[in-house]
Amino acid sequence: MTSGISIDQITGNVGAIVSGLDLRQAIQPDAVDYLANALAKHGVLFFRNQELDLGQFWAFTKHFGTPLSAEVSGTAQDTADMVGTADMAPVRHTTAVWHADTTSLARPPWATILRAVQPTPFGGDTCWSSMYAAWDSLTEPMRQMLDGLTAVHSIRPTYDRMLHYAQFFQPDYEKLHRTEQVHPVVLAHPVTGRKAIYVSESFTTRIVELSPRESDAVLAMLFRHIERPEFCVRWKWSANDLAFWDNRCVQHYAVPDYDSPRIMQRIVLQG
């Protein structure tokens, strides 16, 4: 515990609830360090009952890095008033696949902070899976094979899931970014030093060093492997909940089992 803050782990591998902290208030440097280390350890932190205006939300995220209103078009000059308050229902199937956020970028956001303004009365949960645990549970021969490989991450599968909304998103994306980037299959987390799987069904299309048939088989195995329930936490949103996750060591899945408004605010930290 630091400065009255408590952090309680909620599953064996991922997720913790932070209490004793009002995010409307200034946070002391020792508390920022405590939270940053907890985030790197647990992958996702949950804060309940945080009734914030956009300025307060933005100020909280600035303690941990450079906030962006959106990873595709945002810059270091973004401000709080650029943060959207959006209904996720129309595009709910776009994020109904395991992923770390927008790894099709050359510099994906290292963290994402999501706040519930108006959650659904039922459904609309979000799941997170620990890529530390997914890596650790692989056999040693598999780890030896994967470590050092690279993979292509593409925005094109996202276009397909967006359906007709892609016609609005695609031109803006391709004005600013290439459609594909290459990243390591396995990351070493810069804070913990732990290794984590860094391929996802949402963005990863092939492993560079393998033949197409080998790549398809290995990726299919990894995509199913990371879904194992023992790696996961599932969060039922309440109004003013805030989730803060590290895209370098978790993936998430937004469950699309709703059709009522699901209004959220989202900020990412520049990678």
Residues serving a catalytic function are 99, 101, 252, 266
Number of neighbouring beta carbons within 10 Å of residue 214: 12
Using alpha carbons only, what angle is made at residue 269 by residues 267 and 271, rounded to the nearest 5 degrees?
145
**89: helix, strand or coil:** helix
Tell the residue number behind the tokens 């290995």, with chain if given.
218
Number of neighbouring beta carbons within 10 Å of residue 51: 12
Report which of 227, 248, 222, 246 is spatially closest to residue 146, judged by C-alpha positions: 222
Q: Copy the structure tokens of residue 157.
A: 């599968």
What is the C-alpha separation between 233 and 237, in angstroms, rounded?
13
Using alpha carbons only, what angle is made at residue 187 by residues 181 and 188, rounded to the nearest 5 degrees?
145
Q: Copy the structure tokens of residue 97.
A: 């696949």
Report which of 101, 86, 41 is spatially closest to residue 254, judged by C-alpha positions: 101
List the beta bridge partners of residue 207: 151
Report which of 57, 132, 124 is spatially closest to residue 92, judged by C-alpha positions: 124
Report which of 122, 127, 166 is spatially closest to residue 259, judged by C-alpha positions: 122
